[in-house]
Structure 1
Amino acid sequence: MKREDTGLSESDSYNEDLEAYGLYSVMSQASRGGRRMSSTASTLPTQNRGTPIVISWGPDDTENPQNWSVTKKLLVSSMIWLLTFAIYIGSAIYSPGIPDAAQHFGISNVAATLGLTLFVLGYGVGPMILSPLSELPAVGRSPTYVLSLVIFVFFNFGVIYASNLGMFLAFRFLTGFFGSPALATGGASMGDIWSPRTRDYMIAVWGCFAISAPVLGPLVGGFAAAAKGWTWTIWQLMWISGFTLVVLVFFLPETYAPTILSQRAARVRKITGDPKCVSESELQLQDVTKKEVIFEALVRPFQLCFLEPIVFFLNLYISLIYGILYIWFEAFPIVFEEIHGFNSGENGLAFLGILVGTIFIAIPGYFFWKYRYQSRKQDAEGNIAPEAQLPPACVGALCLAVSLFWFGWTGNFQSVHWITPIIASALFSVGGCLIFNSIFTYEAHAYPQYAASVLAGNDFMRSSFGAAFPLFATAMFHNLGVGWACTLLGCLSVLFVPYPFVLLFFGKRLRLASKFARHDI
């Protein structure tokens, strides 16, 4: 506990504190906006209640997540990774059951695909409303994760026992919606725990779980759908998410520093009876209006996503890749079941090539590059130009285009061994993983004061593409053939190959011309 004279009104001190705990949040953006609107707002606590007593961290404070042991940090991070996996697998785990669901409800396969796309759309819309709750000092990350997961688990009963198509689709959207906080805020949770030098590595591991979940979905759901029908794919989702819920309820601690300090301040106020004992975040948010929070949570992401050129094209690129991923998943049953004679369970095993490419090639290669080469460009404080995050994206863009042509023209013929398109799929995962990690870290470093809004807009736009593209995927592959359909997707990816290179060489000039991006490095 320390006493300060209104020193908290200095935004520089506050911003440094925020960066120590991870990325800027929606609430911090609203707080900064409030201070810009009124230069006298920060002095109000002193005028009304006297000099505040600011509750802060002590030296080597054990409650500070940044000071936790490496073992505890890894255990807590593992719970966030498990939660991310349990939600993300909910989209693709249903896909092997689409034909059976179509027969059950008496609809076409395209209409049954809405069960996949509405779930994806739900977890794109959800963060716009639910993620800011985790950044309120009075709420925090842990309650948001646990309560939303409780709703997620029980709403899946509505999916399983849906009596008509409307009820089924509504609950699929709602489960995606309420499962979304972990998908949007998991990276920020890594920032809560790990130092800035380690944070990018942990976010990459978190991203690996996010990528592997939809890849393993068809594998996990394929055998269940073949044996028991489409409802058993949702039962599997409930077992995974239910187990995760039990783990989180008993073991997940709060990681958000402003919430921990707010709780400490509340304890001190109760013990001392002194209302002037407050945490820094409570002071900063006292004068933030609901209008400012709503603007930062709902309007700012769209403003940056569609009106900021760098962000728009990056989000468009990554959304296109995400859409291609979900389209491309629809090619697997055609290639491996219709052409090579696999059953639905064996078709799920074909997705393991993507998992192998991610875990054994992309992530180790990315970590090696960051440790061996990127670290040389950091200054004494660990700062680095955002453009230094982009070389892996340049490699990934080339891998992605090559893999699509390779998969299409080797998977199109029964005479070509089935292992060949699986190897091509591993190259796709390498390209996608390198691009995703590079773009996420670039956006967070280039727009640190608006990172929450930039990444929320990215999530919304990406999920919209992922939701829309599968609706025409099967028809496209059947009408054009696997070879020409993959050629079309490959040509779309080729159009964006130059963009990471343009940002790498000219990005600083573009960034300095932006009023939202950082100009200090």
Structure 2
Amino acid sequence: MPDLKEEEEERSPISSSEDSNAETENGLGFQPIKATPTDTPMAKVNTGASLTNTLMRTRSTNGFGCDDPVNTCDGTGGDIEAQRADEKDPFEVRFDGGDSDPMCPRSMAHGRKWLIVIIVSASSFCVTCASSMYTSTYAQLEKEFNCSREVVTLGLSMFILGLGLGPMLLGPLSFFDGLSGSAFLSVAGGTVGDMFNREQLQAPMLIYTASPFIGPSFGPLISGFINQYTYWRWTFYVMIIWSACNLGLIFFLVPETYHPVVLKAKARKIRKETGDDRWYAPIERLNKSIPKTIGYSLLRPGQLLIFEPMCLNLCIFSAILLGILYLFFGAFPLVFHGNHGFQLWQTGLAFIGLFIGMMFAAATDPFWHKNYVRLVKQREQVTGEIGGSEPEYRLPPAILGAVLVPVGLFIFAWTTYPSVHWIAPIIGSGIFGMGTLLVFTGIFTFLVDAYPLYAASSLAANSFIRSSFGAIFPLFGIQMYHKLGDQWATSLLAFLTVVMTPFPYIFFKYGKQIRGRSRFATA
């Protein structure tokens, strides 16, 4: 396992500069989407590029994309004179005219790009929706296999844990990543970044980013009807059919969009047409060690959680929220069936409050974007730096969400009496859902901006902690509700979120000073 000293020695001086947004992972640069106010496009000429330039990969809140190469392949910076000589190599294949090159994914027709966004977003939605669809099969599974609720809940826990471990272990391995459902949560976001430039990215990235978080709240709406009127196996048949449809759409309609791979295909085409084997793509000159890449992908998230209080606190906050969300899949039947006599399909419909709350939160994104622009302009007036920004400007959605979350939980807690109309706790769950998505949005974008050199690792750390909590909370949720009652069990969850509520504001107010003392965050 590589140590920190070795890691720092292998990072090139170029990638360590203030202008670099890349996280160097075994010679591969990882640059977060929308992490800084400036964006470096793909190179726009065929010549003048360094042979030692490596590839950039951009990671959204859920995936990878591609950007302009800036670092060296070996991560060491290489010999300066050799680099200067290499910069005049005319045989490195690049996109002619940048984004206007016919082979560049960003030159696709607008309608085709949006079709691809819809397909990958629907696939991501399907993956997380499947996790909650399973929860409606509990009663039938217990009866057929004569097992306890804890045993059937393990199916949900293992699924969620896999979603958290998948990106950490499989992120560097594109081939194996495609074999896992977590692929859509770790690489598909890059497809969106590959097709749209910074000015066009907000709307498609919003759709993709929101889809995996809205998915769990939609699953019970479907599976409640399935398990009410059919056999439990039909829940899985529906998921298989749905996944197969997504697979077919991806196979026939979604092309390769990762820029280095597209350039590799272009180089292969040029070599075939000219018969000159000197033409090459940058990716063909990489010599990366897979074990070492995996080692870094596992080591760095742990370092961030240990040494970075901002990363640790925000990861724990988002983890608590996801844990509560998945705990609700066991709590809702107790509340709505036990107190209001809901049938299974009606209990599934009760999740519509969460779904609507998250959809409403997603719809507020234009407002938060305007607020971000306002903060940037204020900074310009104070510092005179045009386009400059601070990572803390991403936190206002999380500040509001941190307030809405306990409010929604307390409303849910103290309206779960049989004498209170069932719409009241559903409204509370909707407020909780809105706050949850706002917190997720603010935290993810802040982590990407605050740790530009380590954005991939910060998001992997967040994914692991979130999924761990999401896997554990459902295992004790039912017992807690039976022991404490609906009101105090939910209130206990609300008090957990109250403890975490100040942190987004604290980091918004004092984050710059904290980053100044950080060994990983940008100063």
Would you call these one fold, judging by a TM-score over 0.5? yes
- The answer as to 2:64 corresponding to 1:7 is no
- The answer as to 2:161 corresponding to 1:121 is yes
Q: Which amino acid aligns with 1:133?
A: L
Structure 1 equivalent of residue 357 of structure 2 = 357
C-alpha offsets along residues 127-155 of structure 1, whole Å, 9 cap, x if unaligned? 12322233xxxx6xxxx77x52xxxxxxx
Structure 2 equivalent of residue 111 of structure 1 = 151
Residue 332 and residue 19 in structure 1: after superposition, are their counterparts in 2 closer, same or farther (change >3 A)?
closer
Q: Which amino acid aligns with 2:403?
A: L
RMSD across aligned positions (CA):
3.0
Supply the distance in 2 between the matched residues of 1:185 and 1:65 (Cα, whole angstroms). 16
The alignment's TM-score, normalised by the length of structure 2, stands at 0.82
Deviation, structure 1 residue 109: 0.9
Question: 1:22, 1:188 within 8 Å by CA — same for their partners in 2?
Answer: no
Name which of 466, 475, 482 aligns with 2:479.
475
- The answer as to 2:331 corresponding to 1:331 is yes
Identity %: 34
Residue 334 and residue 45 in structure 1: after superposition, are their counterparts in 2 closer, same or farther (change >3 A)?
farther
Question: 1:9, 1:42 within 8 Å by CA — same for their partners in 2?
Answer: no
Deviation, structure 1 residue 116: 0.8
1:496-511 mapped onto 2 (5 Å cutoff) = 496-511=500-515
Question: 1:21, 1:192 within 8 Å by CA — same for their partners in 2?
Answer: no
Question: 2:114, 2:204 within 8 Å by CA — same for their partners in 1?
Answer: no
Question: 2:191, 2:257 within 8 Å by CA — same for their partners in 1?
Answer: yes
Name which of 436, 439, 460 aligns with 2:440.
436
- The answer as to 2:78 corresponding to 1:39 is yes
Question: 1:102, 1:112 within 8 Å by CA — same for their partners in 2?
Answer: yes
Residue 449 and residue 25 in structure 1: after superposition, are their counterparts in 2 closer, same or farther (change >3 A)?
farther
C-alpha offsets along residues 92-137 of structure 1, whole Å, 9 cap, x if unaligned? 1010101211222221011111111111111111112322233xxx
Structure 1 equivalent of residue 31 of structure 2 = none
Residue 20 and residue 57 in structure 1: after superposition, are their counterparts in 2 closer, same or farther (change >3 A)?
farther
Structure 2 equivalent of residue 309 of structure 1 = 309
Name which of 426, 446, 451 aligns with 1:447.
451
Name which of 85, 88, 91 aligns with 1:53.
91
Structure 2 equivalent of residue 158 of structure 1 = none
Structure 1 equivalent of residue 242 of structure 2 = 240
Residue 41 and residue 190 in structure 1: after superposition, are their counterparts in 2 closer, same or farther (change >3 A)?
farther
- The answer as to 2:275 corresponding to 1:273 is yes
1:73-472 mapped onto 2 (5 Å cutoff) = 73-134=113-174, 147-148=178-179, 178-283=180-285, 286-359=286-359, 361-370=360-369, 372-378=370-376, 384-411=389-416, 413-472=417-476
Question: 1:25, 1:451 within 8 Å by CA — same for their partners in 2?
Answer: no
2:92 is paired with a residue of what secondary structure? strand
Number of equivalences: 470
Deviation, structure 1 residue 405: 0.7
Q: Which amino acid aligns with 1:405?
A: F
Supply the distance in 1 between the matched residues of 2:136 and 2:111 (Cα, whole angstroms). 38
Residue 23 and residue 88 in structure 1: after superposition, are their counterparts in 2 closer, same or farther (change >3 A)?
closer
Supply the distance in 2 between the matched residues of 1:20 and 1:85 (Cα, whole angstroms). 18
Supply the distance in 1 between the matched residues of 2:126 and 2:364 (Cα, whole angstroms). 26
Name which of 97, 108, 120 aligns with 1:68.
108
Q: Which amino acid aligns with 2:144?
A: H
Deviation, structure 1 residue 409: 0.6
Residue 383 and residue 255 in structure 1: after superposition, are their counterparts in 2 closer, same or farther (change >3 A)?
farther
The alignment's TM-score, normalised by the length of structure 1, stands at 0.83
Supply the distance in 2 between the matched residues of 1:20 and 1:382 (Cα, whole angstroms). 22
- The answer for unaligned runs of 5 or more in structure 2 is 1-43
Residue 339 and residue 269 in structure 1: after superposition, are their counterparts in 2 closer, same or farther (change >3 A)?
same
Q: Which amino acid aligns with 1:130?
A: L
**Higher helix share goes to which structure?**
1
Deviation, structure 1 residue 421: 0.7
Deviation, structure 1 residue 291: 4.5
Question: 1:98, 1:109 within 8 Å by CA — same for their partners in 2?
Answer: yes
Residue 109 and residue 33 in structure 1: after superposition, are their counterparts in 2 closer, same or farther (change >3 A)?
farther
